[in-house]
Amino acid sequence: MGKLYHVPMRLITLSALLFLAAIPLAFAGPFDDGVAAYKAGDYDKAFKILKPLAELDNSQSADAQERIAHLYERGNGVAKDPVAAAKWFQKAADQGNVTAQAHLGRLFRSGVGVAKDPKQAARWSIKAASQGNPIAESTLGYMALEGSAGPASPAAAAGWFKKSADQGDTSAMIGLGGLYEQGSGVPKDVVQAYKWYALASVDTGEYDADLPVRAKKAKEALGAKMAPAQVAQAGKLVEDFVPAGKR
């Protein structure tokens, strides 16, 4: 029988720590490659790299799960599948990914890929909004306007829209512009309305191609009713706008 060698516990502990520390590094390389492909618009490559990472379904994979959800939602690199998108947003949200939590709240509000559920929409949106996520803030704004999770409150909607719009969220900008144009929840102010419509109209449409189109139509319709001086004043506000976080 061979000799038994005693290995000091501190060496075992050190080896275990080194092994655990290497796991995020091993994940980071492929993930970074996948994100780079995603940002470059090479969605086929991004999907092939990120899907196996997402399927690990652990705390390290939450960011990959969120990206995969976006790919399914938009049909980039894979067939469009709202149900699959919701599933991956849910997995990432459960792991604490704030962006996924915000998008999950949005889906529960609209009933896309999941059954429409105002309680779940509010739950996930509040969770993400408490961490400053503009998508969640915008969702809460629309829910306050609709009265889908309590009494309708244009003033509360304006508050949520303002928080989100200040960070550059296009959907919130349109909502806030509408409230200023109507004088609902805020004093009527066509200059402010035009400003928010104008800012929303230059969105790339990456997340929703319809948003900048709607904003442009609203801006043009409102501008036709305004005095040139008012349009010029609004234009100056647009020029001076800097999203929160970049100030």
DSSP 154-184: HHHHHHHHHHHHTTT-HHHHHHHHHHHHHTS
Position 126 pLDDT exceeds 80: yes
113 belongs to a structural domain: no
- Whole-number Å distance between alpha carbons of 31 and 33: 5
**What per-residue confidence (pLDDT) applies to 96?**
95
- The residue behind tokens 């990959």 is 64
Position 26 pLDDT exceeds 60: no
pLDDT in tens, 133-163: 999 999 999 999 999 988 999 999 999 999 9
Mean pLDDT to the nearest integer, 38-62: 92
Mean pLDDT to the nearest integer, 47-51: 95
- Average pLDDT of the chain, as a whole number: 89
**What per-residue confidence (pLDDT) applies to 11?**
41
37 belongs to a structural domain: no
Number of structural domains (the chain) is 1
Expressed as residue numbers, the domain containing 193 is 168-241
Could you tell me which residues come within 8 angstroms of residue 68 by beta carbon, excluding any fewer than 6 positions away? 47, 50, 51, 54, 88
105 belongs to a structural domain: no
pTM of the model: 0.85
Cβ contact 97:65 at 8 Å: yes
> Of residues 27 and 246, which shows the higher confidence score?
246
28 belongs to a structural domain: no
- The residue behind tokens 């899907």 is 51
